[in-house]
């Protein structure tokens, strides 16, 4: 199936690892041009090498920027567009709020969570969506998380950031629909990224069990009995930016395997 993404310029924040990196590979497989934005230059270099090994001849540009800084985000966008032309698709996957037990929360922890998850998305989306609106077309997908729908005692600040981001996503979709810009969100569940693998390794060490046993224990309570894979999330991201989903905007797609059974 031709998704009509060939030669389009895709900018992916948090594109150096995890779901963002999987998204990059998915778009490159469709013949798109990809710009990766991440704070860590070393991670970006490794990501480029990995992507080029998987997709020889791929057109990849990398920009190191801390998206908690609005000026840094704007400069990263300007740099990417100076190299690869106007951004036609923006995928926000950068930033994750630290989980903090409720008794340890401080005002600073709440600020940090909003900076890490909410403002890191806003700082790139704000200038990008305005440019898309002026051109009359564009697609944005925000990787968020169902922690914004169900409050958890160790994820209150991060969940609040997710909830705010869900509202902003649907608000942008409504405001820019007549200008040809579609905005959607995806709420992944427990996805087997490096962060989750680290938690599984810690569990294995704490319980003195093998990694396989720790992984089985950690996934046993999931409705589907397994974690999701990054490429599964990426496949939905790519589809939401394809011509075949041209009437989908303002959607919140839950991809946690029914772990959070809410509407």
pLDDT band, very low/low/confident/very high, at 221 (cuts 50, 70, 90): confident
Residue 3 in domain: no
Q: Is the pLDDT of residue 153 over 90?
A: no
CA proximity to 22, closest of 235, 182, 225? 235
Position 199 scores a pLDDT of: 78
Number of domains in the chain: 1
Note whether residue 157 is domain-resident: no
pLDDT in tens, 13-72: 999 999 999 999 999 999 999 999 999 999 999 999 999 999 999 999 999 999 999 999
* CB within 8 Å of 182: residues ≥ 6 apart: 138, 139, 140, 173, 240, 245, 246, 248, 249
On whether residue 161 sits in a domain, the answer given is: no
Q: Which two tokens stand for residue 69?
A: 């800084």
206 in a structural domain = no
pLDDT in tens, 181-202: 999 999 998 887 877 777 778 7
103 within domain boundaries = no
Is residue 77 assigned to a domain? yes
Mean pLDDT of the chain: 94
Across 88-92, 175-179, 206-210, least confident range: 206-210
Q: Which domain holds residue 50?
A: 9-96+119-150+168-191+228-254
* Nearest alpha carbon to residue 176 among 186, 184, 185, 166: 184
- The label of the residue with tokens 């009509």 reads 4
pLDDT, residue 63, reads: 97
Asked if residue 37 is part of any domain, the answer here is yes
The pTM assigned to this predicted structure is: 0.94
d(CA 168, CA 206) in angstroms, rounded, equals 39
pLDDT of residue 195: 79
By mean pLDDT, which of 20-24, 176-180, 207-211 is the weakest? 207-211
Residue 203's pLDDT band, with cuts at 50, 70 and 90, is confident
pLDDT of residue 219: 86
Mean pLDDT in residue range 107-125: 95
Alpha carbon distance 60, 20 (integer Å): 14
Tokens in use for 211? 């990694």
Q: How confident is the model at residue 9 (pLDDT cuts 50, 70, 90)?
A: very high
pLDDT at res. 135 = 98
Determine the Cα–Cα distance for residues 44 and 16; give it in Å rounded to an integer. Answer: 5
- If residue 87 lies in a helix (H) or strand (E), which one and from where to where? none
Scored b (16 or more CB within 10 A) or e, 38-63 reads bbeeebbeebbeebeeebeebebbbb
> Is 87 part of a structural domain of the chain?
yes
What pLDDT, on the 0 to 100 scale, is given for residue 145? Answer: 93
CATH number at 19 reads 3.40.50.720
Question: Which structure tokens are listed for 110?
Answer: 């709440």
For the chain, the helix, strand and coil percentages under 3-state DSSP, each to the nearest 5: 50, 15, 35
CA distance 154 to 152: 6
Q: Are 98 and 116 in contact (CB under 8 A)?
A: yes
Identify the pLDDT of residue 20.
97
């Amino acid at each position: 199936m031709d998704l009509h993404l060939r030669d389009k310029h895709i900018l992916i924040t948090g594109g150096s690892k995890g779901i963002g990196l999987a998204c990059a590979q998915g778009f490159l497989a469709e013949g798109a041009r990809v710009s990766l934005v991440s704070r860590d230059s070393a991670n970006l270099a490794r990501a480029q090498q990995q992507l080029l090994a998987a997709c020889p001849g791929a057109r990849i540009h990398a920009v190191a920027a801390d998206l908690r800084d609005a000026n840094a985000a704007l400069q990263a966008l300007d740099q990417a567009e100076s190299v690869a032309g106007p951004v036609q698709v923006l995928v926000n996957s950068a930033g994750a709020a630290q989980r903090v037990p409720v008794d340890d929360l401080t005002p600073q922890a709440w600020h940090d969570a909003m900076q890490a998850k909410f403002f890191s998305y806003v700082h790139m989306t704000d200038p990008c969506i305005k440019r898309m609106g002026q051109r009359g077309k564009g697609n944005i997908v925000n990787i968020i998380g169902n922690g914004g729908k169900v409050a958890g005692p160790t994820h209150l600040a991060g969940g609040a950031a997710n909830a705010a981001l869900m509202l902003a996503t649907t608000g942008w979709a409504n405001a820019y629909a007549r200008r040809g810009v579609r905005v959607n969100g995806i709420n992944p569940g427990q996805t087997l990224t490096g962060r989750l693998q680290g938690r599984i390794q810690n569990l294995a060490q704490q319980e003195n069990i093998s990694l396989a046993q720790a992984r089985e224990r950690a996934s046993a309570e999931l409705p589907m009995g397994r974690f999701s894979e990054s490429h599964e999330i990426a496949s939905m991201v790519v589809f939401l930016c394809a011509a075949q989903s041209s009437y989908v905007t303002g959607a919140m797609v839950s991809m946690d395997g029914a772990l959070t059974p809410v509407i």
